[in-house]
Amino acid sequence: MFKPKFRYTNKIVRLLTKISASREIILSSPLIPKWEVALRREAIIRSAHSSTSIEGNRLSFEQVSNLAQGREVTATQKDKQEVLNYLNILENIGKLIKGSSILEKDILNIHRMVTKGTLDNPDDCGVYRNRYVVVANRLTGEVFFRPPKNEDVPGLIEDLVKWINLEEAKELDPILEAGIVHYEFVRIHPFVDGNGRTARVLATLILYLRGFDTKQFFCLDDYYDSNRQAYYRALQSVNQKSLDLTQWLQYFTEGVAVSINAVKERVIRLSSERLRKAKRGQIALTERQMRIVEFINQNGKITNRDVREMFKLSDEGALKEIKKTIRLGVIKSQGKGRGLHYILQ
Protein backbone atom coordinates (compact mmCIF):
# COMPACT_ATOMS: atom_id res chain seq x y z
CA MET A 1 0.00 0.00 0.00
CA PHE A 2 1.34 3.43 -0.94
CA LYS A 3 2.18 5.62 2.06
CA PRO A 4 4.10 8.85 1.40
CA LYS A 5 7.09 9.80 3.54
CA PHE A 6 7.86 13.43 4.34
CA ARG A 7 8.53 15.83 7.22
CA TYR A 8 6.88 19.12 8.07
CA THR A 9 9.87 21.47 7.89
CA ASN A 10 9.85 25.08 9.05
CA LYS A 11 9.95 26.12 5.40
CA ILE A 12 6.89 24.05 4.45
CA VAL A 13 4.89 25.33 7.44
CA ARG A 14 5.90 28.93 6.73
CA LEU A 15 4.94 28.63 3.05
CA LEU A 16 1.57 27.01 3.83
CA THR A 17 0.80 29.85 6.25
CA LYS A 18 1.78 32.44 3.64
CA ILE A 19 -0.34 30.71 0.99
CA SER A 20 -3.36 30.62 3.29
CA ALA A 21 -3.06 34.35 4.02
CA SER A 22 -2.70 35.25 0.33
CA ARG A 23 -5.62 33.05 -0.66
CA GLU A 24 -7.82 34.69 1.97
CA ILE A 25 -7.01 38.15 0.57
CA ILE A 26 -7.89 37.00 -2.96
CA LEU A 27 -11.18 35.33 -2.09
CA SER A 28 -12.39 38.07 0.26
CA SER A 29 -11.41 41.00 -1.93
CA PRO A 30 -14.35 43.37 -2.61
CA LEU A 31 -13.18 43.81 -6.19
CA ILE A 32 -13.18 40.25 -7.47
CA PRO A 33 -15.82 40.81 -10.16
CA LYS A 34 -17.41 39.20 -13.16
CA TRP A 35 -13.96 39.95 -14.50
CA GLU A 36 -12.71 36.95 -12.51
CA VAL A 37 -13.60 35.08 -15.70
CA ALA A 38 -10.70 36.93 -17.32
CA LEU A 39 -8.36 35.99 -14.46
CA ARG A 40 -9.37 32.36 -14.82
CA ARG A 41 -8.91 32.48 -18.59
CA GLU A 42 -5.44 33.95 -18.29
CA ALA A 43 -4.39 31.30 -15.75
CA ILE A 44 -5.63 28.50 -18.03
CA ILE A 45 -3.78 29.91 -21.05
CA ARG A 46 -0.57 30.34 -19.03
CA SER A 47 -0.86 26.78 -17.71
CA ALA A 48 -1.41 25.37 -21.19
CA HIS A 49 1.60 27.25 -22.51
CA SER A 50 3.93 26.40 -19.63
CA SER A 51 2.99 22.75 -19.15
CA THR A 52 3.40 21.91 -22.85
CA SER A 53 6.53 24.08 -23.13
CA ILE A 54 8.22 22.05 -20.39
CA GLU A 55 7.77 18.99 -22.62
CA GLY A 56 9.30 20.72 -25.67
CA ASN A 57 6.29 22.38 -27.29
CA ARG A 58 7.51 25.36 -29.40
CA LEU A 59 4.43 27.60 -29.34
CA SER A 60 4.89 31.03 -27.76
CA PHE A 61 2.52 32.40 -25.15
CA GLU A 62 1.01 34.69 -27.80
CA GLN A 63 0.38 31.74 -30.13
CA VAL A 64 -1.25 29.75 -27.32
CA SER A 65 -3.44 32.75 -26.52
CA ASN A 66 -4.46 33.02 -30.17
CA LEU A 67 -5.29 29.30 -30.32
CA ALA A 68 -7.43 29.70 -27.20
CA GLN A 69 -9.39 32.43 -29.01
CA GLY A 70 -9.97 30.19 -32.03
CA ARG A 71 -7.43 31.94 -34.25
CA GLU A 72 -5.14 30.11 -36.63
CA VAL A 73 -1.40 30.03 -35.88
CA THR A 74 1.55 28.86 -37.95
CA ALA A 75 2.98 25.80 -36.19
CA THR A 76 3.18 22.02 -36.50
CA GLN A 77 -0.07 20.14 -36.06
CA LYS A 78 1.38 18.22 -33.11
CA ASP A 79 2.36 21.40 -31.23
CA LYS A 80 -1.07 22.92 -31.82
CA GLN A 81 -2.90 19.75 -30.82
CA GLU A 82 -0.92 19.40 -27.57
CA VAL A 83 -1.93 22.92 -26.55
CA LEU A 84 -5.57 22.49 -27.63
CA ASN A 85 -5.76 19.26 -25.62
CA TYR A 86 -4.41 20.95 -22.51
CA LEU A 87 -6.71 23.95 -22.90
CA ASN A 88 -9.69 21.63 -23.27
CA ILE A 89 -8.86 19.62 -20.18
CA LEU A 90 -8.35 22.70 -17.97
CA GLU A 91 -11.51 24.36 -19.24
CA ASN A 92 -13.44 21.23 -18.26
CA ILE A 93 -11.58 20.40 -15.03
CA GLY A 94 -14.84 20.20 -13.07
CA LYS A 95 -16.25 17.59 -15.45
CA LEU A 96 -13.28 15.22 -15.51
CA ILE A 97 -14.67 12.94 -12.82
CA LYS A 98 -18.04 12.07 -11.35
CA GLY A 99 -18.32 12.76 -7.64
CA SER A 100 -15.25 13.49 -5.54
CA SER A 101 -13.24 10.28 -6.00
CA ILE A 102 -10.51 9.95 -8.60
CA LEU A 103 -10.56 6.46 -10.12
CA GLU A 104 -8.11 4.55 -12.30
CA LYS A 105 -10.40 4.97 -15.32
CA ASP A 106 -10.29 8.74 -14.75
CA ILE A 107 -6.49 8.76 -14.95
CA LEU A 108 -6.58 6.76 -18.19
CA ASN A 109 -9.17 9.18 -19.59
CA ILE A 110 -7.10 12.21 -18.59
CA HIS A 111 -4.08 10.76 -20.39
CA ARG A 112 -6.29 10.05 -23.42
CA MET A 113 -7.44 13.69 -23.45
CA VAL A 114 -3.92 15.04 -22.92
CA THR A 115 -2.34 13.00 -25.74
CA LYS A 116 -5.18 12.83 -28.27
CA GLY A 117 -3.79 13.13 -31.79
CA THR A 118 -0.19 13.71 -30.64
CA LEU A 119 1.42 10.29 -30.18
CA ASP A 120 3.39 8.46 -32.87
CA ASN A 121 1.41 5.33 -32.00
CA PRO A 122 -2.26 6.18 -31.32
CA ASP A 123 -2.66 2.85 -29.50
CA ASP A 124 -0.52 4.28 -26.64
CA CYS A 125 -3.20 6.90 -25.90
CA GLY A 126 -4.90 6.17 -22.56
CA VAL A 127 -3.06 2.85 -22.19
CA TYR A 128 -0.28 1.88 -19.78
CA ARG A 129 3.13 1.44 -21.38
CA ASN A 130 3.91 -1.98 -22.81
CA ARG A 131 7.60 -1.21 -23.37
CA TYR A 132 10.26 0.13 -21.04
CA VAL A 133 11.07 3.84 -21.12
CA VAL A 134 13.61 6.05 -19.36
CA VAL A 135 13.65 9.77 -18.64
CA ALA A 136 16.65 11.19 -20.49
CA ASN A 137 18.07 14.38 -22.00
CA ARG A 138 16.88 14.40 -25.61
CA LEU A 139 20.11 16.06 -26.79
CA THR A 140 22.80 14.23 -24.82
CA GLY A 141 21.04 10.96 -24.09
CA GLU A 142 21.91 11.26 -20.39
CA VAL A 143 19.48 9.17 -18.33
CA PHE A 144 17.90 11.12 -15.46
CA PHE A 145 15.58 8.47 -14.14
CA ARG A 146 14.66 4.81 -14.59
CA PRO A 147 10.99 4.16 -13.74
CA PRO A 148 9.52 0.86 -12.46
CA LYS A 149 9.07 -2.13 -14.76
CA ASN A 150 6.09 -2.25 -17.13
CA GLU A 151 4.43 -5.09 -15.24
CA ASP A 152 4.54 -3.11 -11.96
CA VAL A 153 2.66 -0.10 -13.34
CA PRO A 154 -0.98 -1.23 -12.90
CA GLY A 155 -0.43 -2.24 -9.25
CA LEU A 156 1.43 1.00 -8.44
CA ILE A 157 -1.33 3.13 -9.97
CA GLU A 158 -3.95 1.11 -8.12
CA ASP A 159 -2.13 1.78 -4.82
CA LEU A 160 -1.85 5.49 -5.59
CA VAL A 161 -5.56 5.74 -6.44
CA LYS A 162 -6.48 3.98 -3.21
CA TRP A 163 -4.36 6.44 -1.22
CA ILE A 164 -5.85 9.49 -2.99
CA ASN A 165 -9.31 8.43 -1.84
CA LEU A 166 -8.36 7.64 1.77
CA GLU A 167 -9.40 9.99 4.57
CA GLU A 168 -5.71 10.12 5.48
CA ALA A 169 -4.98 11.88 2.19
CA LYS A 170 -7.99 14.18 2.40
CA GLU A 171 -6.95 15.29 5.89
CA LEU A 172 -3.67 16.62 4.49
CA ASP A 173 -3.36 20.18 3.27
CA PRO A 174 -4.54 19.97 -0.38
CA ILE A 175 -1.24 21.48 -1.53
CA LEU A 176 0.73 18.64 0.05
CA GLU A 177 -1.66 16.05 -1.35
CA ALA A 178 -1.34 17.53 -4.85
CA GLY A 179 2.45 17.60 -4.53
CA ILE A 180 2.62 13.99 -3.36
CA VAL A 181 0.40 12.76 -6.22
CA HIS A 182 2.38 14.82 -8.75
CA TYR A 183 5.67 13.22 -7.71
CA GLU A 184 4.43 9.64 -7.30
CA PHE A 185 2.77 9.72 -10.70
CA VAL A 186 5.95 10.97 -12.37
CA ARG A 187 7.93 8.29 -10.51
CA ILE A 188 5.65 5.51 -11.74
CA HIS A 189 5.75 6.97 -15.26
CA PRO A 190 2.84 4.78 -16.37
CA PHE A 191 2.66 5.89 -20.01
CA VAL A 192 5.00 5.94 -22.99
CA ASP A 193 4.60 9.72 -23.29
CA GLY A 194 2.57 12.52 -21.68
CA ASN A 195 3.39 11.58 -18.07
CA GLY A 196 4.45 15.08 -17.00
CA ARG A 197 1.36 16.77 -18.42
CA THR A 198 -0.92 14.13 -16.90
CA ALA A 199 0.79 14.51 -13.50
CA ARG A 200 0.32 18.28 -13.58
CA VAL A 201 -3.35 17.90 -14.55
CA LEU A 202 -3.85 15.51 -11.62
CA ALA A 203 -2.25 17.99 -9.21
CA THR A 204 -4.49 20.77 -10.57
CA LEU A 205 -7.54 18.50 -10.31
CA ILE A 206 -6.81 17.69 -6.66
CA LEU A 207 -6.49 21.40 -5.78
CA TYR A 208 -9.82 21.97 -7.55
CA LEU A 209 -11.63 19.04 -5.91
CA ARG A 210 -10.33 19.90 -2.44
CA GLY A 211 -11.74 23.43 -2.79
CA PHE A 212 -8.38 25.19 -2.92
CA ASP A 213 -8.62 26.59 -6.45
CA THR A 214 -12.25 26.24 -7.50
CA LYS A 215 -12.03 29.53 -9.42
CA GLN A 216 -8.85 28.40 -11.23
CA PHE A 217 -6.93 31.60 -10.60
CA PHE A 218 -3.53 30.02 -10.01
CA CYS A 219 -1.04 28.89 -12.64
CA LEU A 220 1.49 26.50 -11.09
CA ASP A 221 3.04 25.45 -14.38
CA ASP A 222 4.52 28.94 -14.93
CA TYR A 223 6.77 28.35 -11.92
CA TYR A 224 8.02 25.01 -13.27
CA ASP A 225 8.61 26.42 -16.76
CA SER A 226 10.46 29.51 -15.49
CA ASN A 227 13.32 27.26 -14.37
CA ARG A 228 12.96 23.81 -15.91
CA GLN A 229 16.30 22.61 -14.54
CA ALA A 230 15.16 23.44 -10.99
CA TYR A 231 11.93 21.51 -11.67
CA TYR A 232 13.83 18.43 -12.84
CA ARG A 233 16.35 18.74 -10.00
CA ALA A 234 13.51 18.85 -7.48
CA LEU A 235 11.97 15.72 -8.99
CA GLN A 236 15.37 14.00 -8.88
CA SER A 237 16.00 15.09 -5.29
CA VAL A 238 13.93 12.19 -3.97
CA ASN A 239 16.10 9.28 -2.88
CA GLN A 240 14.75 6.19 -4.65
CA LYS A 241 15.45 3.97 -1.65
CA SER A 242 13.87 6.07 1.10
CA LEU A 243 11.37 7.94 -1.15
CA ASP A 244 11.43 10.85 1.31
CA LEU A 245 9.42 13.60 -0.42
CA THR A 246 10.36 16.46 1.93
CA GLN A 247 12.68 18.33 -0.43
CA TRP A 248 10.30 17.93 -3.38
CA LEU A 249 7.36 19.17 -1.28
CA GLN A 250 9.34 22.23 -0.23
CA TYR A 251 9.86 23.04 -3.92
CA PHE A 252 6.23 22.29 -4.82
CA THR A 253 4.85 24.39 -1.95
CA GLU A 254 7.13 27.28 -2.90
CA GLY A 255 5.73 27.09 -6.44
CA VAL A 256 2.18 27.42 -5.13
CA ALA A 257 3.26 30.35 -2.94
CA VAL A 258 4.83 32.19 -5.89
CA SER A 259 1.77 31.60 -8.06
CA ILE A 260 -0.77 32.68 -5.48
CA ASN A 261 1.31 35.72 -4.50
CA ALA A 262 1.27 36.93 -8.11
CA VAL A 263 -2.55 36.76 -8.11
CA LYS A 264 -2.72 38.44 -4.71
CA GLU A 265 -0.56 41.36 -5.85
CA ARG A 266 -2.82 41.89 -8.83
CA VAL A 267 -5.95 41.79 -6.69
CA ILE A 268 -4.43 44.27 -4.23
CA ARG A 269 -3.79 46.67 -7.09
CA LEU A 270 -7.49 46.43 -7.90
CA SER A 271 -8.67 47.13 -4.37
CA SER A 272 -8.48 50.25 -2.26
CA GLU A 273 -7.90 49.99 1.47
CA ARG A 274 -11.25 51.60 2.16
CA LEU A 275 -13.15 49.15 -0.01
CA ARG A 276 -11.46 46.17 1.61
CA LYS A 277 -12.34 47.46 5.07
CA ALA A 278 -15.91 48.30 4.11
CA LYS A 279 -16.80 44.60 3.86
CA ARG A 280 -19.49 45.30 1.32
CA GLY A 281 -18.97 41.97 -0.36
CA GLN A 282 -17.96 41.52 -3.95
CA ILE A 283 -18.67 44.25 -6.48
CA ALA A 284 -19.28 43.08 -10.04
CA LEU A 285 -17.28 45.26 -12.45
CA THR A 286 -16.74 45.05 -16.18
CA GLU A 287 -13.22 44.80 -17.58
CA ARG A 288 -13.25 48.51 -18.43
CA GLN A 289 -14.29 49.42 -14.89
CA MET A 290 -11.53 47.21 -13.51
CA ARG A 291 -8.98 49.01 -15.66
CA ILE A 292 -10.27 52.36 -14.40
CA VAL A 293 -9.80 51.22 -10.79
CA GLU A 294 -6.33 49.84 -11.55
CA PHE A 295 -5.35 53.15 -13.19
CA ILE A 296 -6.46 55.09 -10.10
CA ASN A 297 -4.57 52.73 -7.80
CA GLN A 298 -1.41 53.30 -9.81
CA ASN A 299 -1.81 57.05 -10.45
CA GLY A 300 -3.98 58.32 -7.58
CA LYS A 301 -6.68 59.69 -9.88
CA ILE A 302 -8.18 59.49 -13.36
CA THR A 303 -9.65 62.11 -15.70
CA ASN A 304 -12.18 62.00 -18.50
CA ARG A 305 -9.28 62.39 -20.93
CA ASP A 306 -7.48 59.38 -19.42
CA VAL A 307 -10.58 57.21 -19.88
CA ARG A 308 -11.10 58.55 -23.40
CA GLU A 309 -7.54 57.67 -24.45
CA MET A 310 -7.53 54.35 -22.59
CA PHE A 311 -10.54 52.95 -24.45
CA LYS A 312 -10.48 55.13 -27.60
CA LEU A 313 -13.87 56.65 -26.72
CA SER A 314 -15.56 59.99 -27.38
CA ASP A 315 -15.96 62.49 -24.51
CA GLU A 316 -19.55 61.31 -24.13
CA GLY A 317 -18.54 57.64 -24.13
CA ALA A 318 -15.82 58.20 -21.54
CA LEU A 319 -18.21 60.11 -19.26
CA LYS A 320 -20.75 57.29 -19.58
CA GLU A 321 -18.14 54.73 -18.36
CA ILE A 322 -17.20 57.00 -15.45
CA LYS A 323 -20.81 57.53 -14.38
CA LYS A 324 -21.45 53.76 -14.37
CA THR A 325 -18.49 53.27 -12.04
CA ILE A 326 -19.65 56.15 -9.80
CA ARG A 327 -23.12 54.58 -9.49
CA LEU A 328 -21.51 51.39 -8.19
CA GLY A 329 -19.98 53.44 -5.36
CA VAL A 330 -16.44 52.58 -6.38
CA ILE A 331 -15.18 56.04 -7.43
CA LYS A 332 -16.22 59.65 -6.82
CA SER A 333 -15.54 63.02 -8.46
CA GLN A 334 -13.21 65.63 -7.05
CA GLY A 335 -12.50 69.20 -8.17
CA LYS A 336 -14.27 71.32 -10.78
CA GLY A 337 -13.84 72.53 -14.33
CA ARG A 338 -10.45 71.65 -15.81
CA GLY A 339 -9.40 70.26 -12.44
CA LEU A 340 -12.22 67.68 -12.37
CA HIS A 341 -10.93 64.17 -11.77
CA TYR A 342 -12.00 60.96 -10.08
CA ILE A 343 -10.64 59.01 -7.11
CA LEU A 344 -11.58 55.83 -5.28
CA GLN A 345 -14.40 56.07 -2.75
Q: Which residues are catalytic, by number?
A: 189
Nearest Cα residue to 100 out of 31, 185, 13, 167? 167
Spatial separation of the C-alpha atoms in residues 180 and 48, rounded to whole Å: 22
Q: What is the DSSP letter of 270?
A: T
Yes or no: say if 79 and 58 are a contact pair by the CB < 8 Å rule: yes
Relative orientation angle of helices 10-28 and 174-188, to the nearest 10 degrees? 120
Instruction: Spell out the SS3 assignment of 121-170.
Output: CHHHCCCCCCCCCCEECCCCCCEEECCCCHHHHHHHHHHHHHHHCCHHHH
How buried is residue 103: exposed, middle or buried, by Cβ count under 10 Å (0-12/13-18/19+)?
middle
**SS3 state of residue 331:** strand
Q: What is the DSSP letter of 279?
A: T
How buried is residue 233: exposed, middle or buried, by Cβ count under 10 Å (0-12/13-18/19+)?
middle
Q: Which residues contact 67 (CB under 8 A, 6 or more apart)?
A: 59, 73, 80, 83, 84, 87
Yes or no: say if 191 and 124 are a contact pair by the CB < 8 Å rule: yes
Nearest Cα residue to 289 out of 107, 31, 65? 31
